Amino acid sequence: MHRRIVDRRGVREQQALSGTPGTFWCKSKTMKAKKISLIESEYRQLEDVVGCKWSVSVLQAVAAGHTRPGALERHIAGISTKVLSERLRKLTRYGLLDKQVYAEMPPRTEYALTDNGYKLVAIIGQIRLLDDDIRRS
């Protein structure tokens, strides 16, 4: 019969001293899940859009008639494909752009401003006018 020698050290300490990899238990099952709201407030969304130069540029380009991603990328100087895709996805999710996908070969995607998108573009235009007035003063 084998005798088991019990040491006062904890299991993790023994594993650390012996060099064997330890098993780490997930506490998420025992801990209460925090309620995290996935819906951002409307103000935070607006702040995210207006505070981003690329979002404003994309909205203005779509308002000017550039509706396809390739045309937007050519029209907006300095924007990368990755950033453009991210901004289009975010603006669509926020309800400022509508995405229309055509089942053609090759597939065609076009974006258009929603009613709220038109309102925001008008507000951005007013902010630009205010900026011009301030610079002239």
CA angle (109, 58, 44) in 5-degree steps: 110
Q: Pairing relation of β-strands 108-113 and 97-102?
A: antiparallel
Residue 52: its pLDDT value, please? Answer: 84
Inside any domain, residue 36: no
pLDDT > 90: what percent of the chain?
Answer: 54
Inside any domain, residue 29: no
Inside any domain, residue 14: no
Measured between its terminal Cα atoms, the distance across the chain in Å is 96
Residue 8: its pLDDT value, please? Answer: 53
Q: Which two tokens stand for residue 131?
A: 């900026």
Q: How many domains does the chain have?
A: 1
Q: Which two tokens stand for residue 27?
A: 């506490």
Residue 60: its pLDDT value, please? Answer: 94
Residue 110: its pLDDT value, please? Answer: 96
Inside any domain, residue 124: yes
Write out the residue range of the structural domain in which residue 60 sits: 42-136
Do residues 63 and 121 touch, judged by C-beta distance below 8 A? yes
Residue 131's SS3 state is helix
Low-confidence ranges of the chain (pLDDT < 70): 1-40
CATH code for the domain of 114: 1.10.10.10
Q: Return the residue matching tokens 């099952």.
A: 29
Inside any domain, residue 96: yes
Contacts of 57 (CB under 8 A, 6+ apart): 76, 79
Q: Which two tokens stand for residue 111?
A: 């974006």
Taking the C-alpha atoms of residue 72 and residue 79, their distance in angstroms, rounded to an integer, is: 9
Q: Which two tokens stand for residue 107?
A: 């597939």
Do residues 84 and 76 touch, judged by C-beta distance below 8 A? yes
Residue 40: its pLDDT value, please? Answer: 55
